[in-house]
A and B are shown apart, each in its own frame.
Chain A
Amino acid sequence: MTVTSVGEHIDLFRERFVRITREVGKRIVGNEDIVENTVTALLAGGHVLLEGIPGVGKTSLVHTLADVLHLKFSRIQFTPDLMPADIVGTNIVQEHAHGGGTFFEFQPGPIFANVVLADEINRATPKTQSALLEAMQEQSVSVGKTTYQLEQPFLVLATQNPLEMEGTYPLPEAQLDRFFFKLKVTYPAEKAMHQILERTTQTEGTPVERVMDGPEILEMRHVVRSVPIAKPVQGYAIRLTLGSHPGSPYASPLVNKYVRYGASPRAAQALVLAGKIHAITRGNAFVSAEDIRAVAMPALRHRLLLNFEGEAEQVNADTIVTELLGAVPAEA
Chain B
Amino acid sequence: MPDRPIQDLVAQADRQRRVRATAAYLRRLAPIAAALALGAGLIGRFLLGWPAWVGLAVLSLAAIALGSFTYLQRRTRPTSDAIASAVDADAGLTGELRSAHWFEAQGARDAWTEFHIDHATTRARGVAWPALYPRDRSPRAWIVTAVLSMAAIALAVRMPAPVRATSALAETEAGLAPEMAALPKDLADKLAALLAQLDQAAANKDAGAKASTLADLKDLMAKLDPAMQKKLADMLEKKALEKDTNAASAQDARPDAAENATAGLPEDAKWAQDNQAAKTAQLDEKKPADKNAPASGKADSQKSGEQQSQQSGDAAAETTSALMREAASEQNSKVMMGGGGPMGGDSRPGSGAGNDPAKGAAEALLVAQALKKEMVEANADALGENVDKEDLRRKTEQGKSGLGFTRTAAPRVEPSRATAPPPVPEARRPLLFSYFIRR
Once bound together, how far apart are the Cα atoms of A197 and B36, in whole Å?
76
Q: Are A289 and B95 in contact (CB under 8 A)?
A: yes
Minimum CB distance partner of B82 in chain A = A331
Residue in A7, A231, A285, A290 with the greatest tally of chain B CB atoms within 10 Å: A285
Once bound together, how far apart are the Cα atoms of A5 and B98, in whole Å?
23
CB distance from A108 to the nearest CB of B (A): 39
Once bound together, how far apart are the Cα atoms of A289 and B95, in whole Å?
7
Known contacts: A7-B115, A228-B112, A232-B102. The answer to whether A288 contacts B81 by CB under 8 A is no
CB distance from A132 to the nearest CB of B (A): 35
* A280-308 contacts to B (CB < 8 Å): 284-291
Per-residue 0/1 for B23-42: is the Cβ within 8 Å of any A Cβ (1 yes, 0 no)? Answer: 00000000000000000000
B100 within 8 A of A: yes
Once bound together, how far apart are the Cα atoms of A87 and B102, in whole Å?
48
Contacts of A228 in B (CB 8 A): 99, 103, 110, 112-113, 116
B312 within 8 A of A: no
Once bound together, how far apart are the Cα atoms of A299 and B424, in whole Å?
82
B85 within 8 A of A: yes
Q: Are B99 and A230 in contact (CB under 8 A)?
A: yes
Beyond A6-B114, A228-B99, A290-B95, 12 additional pairs, beta carbon < 8 A:
A3-B118, A228-B116, A230-B103, A231-B102, A232-B85, A232-B98, A233-B99, A284-B94, A288-B95, A288-B96, A291-B95, A331-B82
The SS class assigned to the A binding surface is loop
Q: Are B111 and A286 in contact (CB under 8 A)?
A: no
Contacts of B114 in A (CB 8 A): 3, 6
Minimum CB distance partner of B81 in chain A = A232
Q: Are B118 and A286 in contact (CB under 8 A)?
A: no
Once bound together, how far apart are the Cα atoms of A230 and B114, in whole Å?
13
Minimum CB distance partner of B84 in chain A = A232
CB distance from B82 to the nearest CB of A (A): 5
CB distance from B14 to the nearest CB of A (A): 14
A176 within 8 A of B: no
What's the A-B contact tally at a CB cutoff of 8 Å?
63
Per-residue 0/1 for B107-129: is the Cβ within 8 Å of any A Cβ (1 yes, 0 no)? Answer: 00011111110111000000000
Residue in A2, A232, A284, A330 with the greatest tally of chain B CB atoms within 10 Å: A232
The SS class assigned to the B binding surface is helix
Known contacts: A228-B103, A286-B100, A330-B85. The answer to whether A3 contacts B115 by CB under 8 A is yes
Q: Are B99 and A2 in contact (CB under 8 A)?
A: no
Contacts of A231 in B (CB 8 A): 102
Once bound together, how far apart are the Cα atoms of A231 and B98, in whole Å?
11
Per-residue 0/1 for A194-234: is the Cβ within 8 Å of any B Cβ (1 yes, 0 no)? Answer: 00000000000000000000000000000000111111110
Minimum CB distance partner of B96 in chain A = A286
Contacts of A189 in B (CB 8 A): none
Once bound together, how far apart are the Cα atoms of A228 and B71, in whole Å?
38
Once bound together, how far apart are the Cα atoms of A1 and B112, in whole Å?
9
A92 within 8 A of B: no
Q: Are B99 and A286 in contact (CB under 8 A)?
A: yes
Contacts of B112 in A (CB 8 A): 1, 6, 226-228, 285
A312 within 8 A of B: no
Q: Are B102 and A285 in contact (CB under 8 A)?
A: no
13 contacts between A and B (CB under 8 A): A1-B111, A6-B111, A6-B112, A228-B110, A230-B99, A232-B85, A285-B115, A288-B96, A288-B98, A288-B99, A290-B94, A331-B82, A332-B81
